[in-house]
Structure 1
Amino acid sequence: MSAQMPLFDDAEVSPLVLSRRAAIATGFGFACLMRRNASAAATATPSGSVSPASVVSQPARQWGAGAPPAYLPDPDVIVLDPSFHDLTYFAAPIRRLWDQGGWLEGPAWSSEGRFLVLSDVIQSKALRYIWETGEITQFRPEGYAANGNCFDFDGRLVVCEDFFRRVVRWEHDGSVKVLADSFDGKGLNSPNDIVPHPDGSLWFTDPGYGDNITEGHADAPGGPANRDGRLRWNIGRELIGEIGGTKRQSDHVFRIDPDGSVKAVLQEVDLHDPNGLCFSPDYKKLYIVSTPKGPGQSIGGDQAIHVYDVNGSTLGPGQVFADMRLNGVQMNPDGIRVDVFGNLWCGASGPLGLCGVFVFNPAGKLIGRLRLPQGCSNLTFGGPKRDHLFMCAANSLFVLQVGTQGFAPS
């Protein structure tokens, strides 16, 4: 995202329209407004009214320690349909918890441990956010450029490791098991996102975004992501054993069966550059994001969210659920999750003023947005009640308490 990109204003429903619950708390809202009047972050208009600082205001909203108190309702929580009011909480502002990352991905909530696991892909760190203290700590000393994470139905952590181009699971006894590192006699690309199914299977996407020196490692010489062999593909980590895949193959969406076998449920011809994915709450649908072309590709995805019927261990024909266009601009979707009502929450990158989180109802209608100062790569619901939306956005971790709950497990 460039600082020179244009700013956009939303002409839809105002973010300051109070919900029925908010109207009951008129006195509270008035007190917040008075406090905001005294804040330097609020901008006085010629008429004397006060406009709260937001992502697109000048000066822009401040974040973190030392920032003025947040205006409520948050001006960057944008209601596009009245139904979105029921999914938000008027007295909760978007908060930035941390901004010392490189490129953050793969947030997953541990209900048992009450912590959030997340990956810093380009710094190859496995991190943890602790609920009780609000600290970000090292989870493991080496993350192997991990990307997506999830906890399975037995509470075990499953990790997509870009550097080793594999999927691993951490067992309850502390050992690690490789679940997938090849298909059809070829190494994987760079497993990206993964979700569990109650039948014991795991479903994951395998685009090639980690097949570069920034997010994993390049191909061996001659591979699609290192055709002329100039990149020194096998340096940068202290390794034990062999690197997994060494040459990029076609993109797939895979299912790891309970017996350990790896099967392709979608081929590259079906969907280019698959990225984020999640099931509907009844597990009858699988949503998958298609994103721009990765290293070694000549054709990229269409930057839309697709939906497929789940037929046991296979998928039916897909269709576009949301084209991810807003105000004439093609956004780039990434990670997705659903809440208990089946609404889909999607992290998106694009111009300042448009990027953040898009929220669709089960019919595919855009009903609300969360505006962030950076594109959102991935997100999940967490907290003891699963009513906090954690958002990874470039080097930062944001959170918003919401009026719904995430569908578990994350």
Structure 2
Amino acid sequence: MKTTYPFLSTIALTIFVLSCKAQQTSIVKNGAELVKVSNAYSFTEGPASDKEGNVYFTDQPNDKIIKWNAEDNTLSVFKEPAGRANGLYFDHNGNLLAAADEKNELWRIDNDGNVDTLLTNYNGKKLNGPNDIWVDPKGGIYFTDPYYQRDYWSRTAAELEDKNVYYIAPDTNKISIVASDLVQPNGIIGTPDGKTLYVADIGDRKTYTFTINKDGTLTNRKLFTKMGSDGMTIDNLSNIYLTGEGVTVFNTKGEQIHHIPIDENWTANITFGGKDQDVLFITAMGAIYTLKMNVNGVRY
């Protein structure tokens, strides 16, 4: 005769729920609250952290790049005008890379704000509008190139038929298409070991993983989750952070482990900043937010 113990099922369920809850809250610092640093902007985007943990972000409608000082929580204008910059990322030499949307270019900006234009076209055709950037451990540059019609453009159609992900090889500056067959690629981030690239196809509401080969090409495309993203970041536990309706965090298996609600109509982008890379820095509509974390961003 089989004996059953109904209370054990209740205990098991309780343990499961508590375990899930613990998993969800463990990445956020105990007692930490979301802090609205400022809402003085029109539309914030493209946060990128330098080696000191300061975060640079864009206010695209007002054509500015703003610097958040990690030491004293102050804000200052780094560059204005800023080529209608969207996504930002620092290279290994401390230069700020910018997806300069005004003329569909890719910029490299030094500490004094001087601009070196890295890219203006692909095979003689104007880029759609570089959006987000990631730099691999070797210094190669990946960027997404969707098409969003801008009111400050004179053109009304794309010159390139496809919306691709491109790679600029280090040293040679050779540019190549490494991912295509995407509706509207947007957010992009790679693992610190340089082996895996995550690309969000926000137009198709999907995020994919790719294997990064030694020459920078991508293979082994796999669906990571049925959710797109505007911007993306990764922590030291390899969790992936997607944006849109707040911030949604996934583990490496593509399982959602946490959600950070943001009281804004849209959450555009995200990165880690602060001296110890334990401050989640979030851009959402005209505002920026910070949140203390138990996990850290990753640096080379």
Residue number among 181, 206, 211 corresponding to 1:304 in the alignment? 206
Q: Which amino acid aligns with 1:177?
A: D
Paired residues of 1:81 and 1:367 also in contact (CA < 8 A)? no
Does 2:143 correspond to 1:204? yes
Residue number among 140, 160, 165 corresponding to 1:253 in the alignment? 165
Distance in 2 (CA, whole Å) between partners of 1:284 and 1:403 is: 25
Distance in 1 (CA, whole Å) between partners of 2:229 and 2:130 is: 17
Correspondence for 2:28: 88
Note closer, same or farther for the CA distance 1:175–1:200 as it changes in structure 2 (3 Å cut): same
Distance in 2 (CA, whole Å) between partners of 1:84 and 1:311 is: 33
Correspondence for 2:40: 100
| Stretches of structure 2 lacking an aligned partner (at least 5 in a row) | 1-12
SS in 2 for 1:163: coil
| Stretches of structure 1 lacking an aligned partner (at least 5 in a row) | 1-12, 19-78, 226-246, 293-301, 325-331, 349-354
Distance in 2 (CA, whole Å) between partners of 1:122 and 1:303 is: 25
Shift of 1:224: 2.2
Residue number among 342, 345, 369 corresponding to 2:259 in the alignment? 369
Give the structure-1-normalised TM-score: 0.65
Give the structure-2-normalised TM-score: 0.88
Paired residues of 2:137 and 2:192 also in contact (CA < 8 A)? no
The structure with the larger Rg is 1
Matched-pair identity in %: 29
Higher strand share: 2
Shift of 1:110: 1.4
CA-based RMSD of the aligned residues comes to 2.2
1:8-157 alignment to 2 at 5 Å? 82-112=22-52, 114-157=53-96
Correspondence for 2:273: 382
1:230-241 alignment to 2 at 5 Å? none
Paired residues of 1:80 and 1:369 also in contact (CA < 8 A)? no
Note closer, same or farther for the CA distance 1:285–1:109 as it changes in structure 2 (3 Å cut): same
Correspondence for 2:225: 322
Does 2:157 correspond to 1:224? yes
Shift of 1:170: 1.7
Distance in 2 (CA, whole Å) between partners of 1:272 and 1:203 is: 17
SS in 2 for 1:134: coil
1:254-403 alignment to 2 at 5 Å? 254-258=166-170, 259-267=172-180, 270-292=181-203, 302-312=204-214, 313-324=216-227, 333-348=229-244, 355-374=245-264, 375-403=266-294
Note closer, same or farther for the CA distance 1:81–1:320 as it changes in structure 2 (3 Å cut): farther
Shift of 1:373: 0.8
Correspondence for 2:297: 406
Paired residues of 1:188 and 1:249 also in contact (CA < 8 A)? no
Aligned residues between the structures: 283
SS in 2 for 1:84: helix
Paired residues of 2:56 and 2:67 also in contact (CA < 8 A)? yes
Distance in 2 (CA, whole Å) between partners of 1:118 and 1:192 is: 13
Q: Which amino acid aligns with 1:261?
A: K
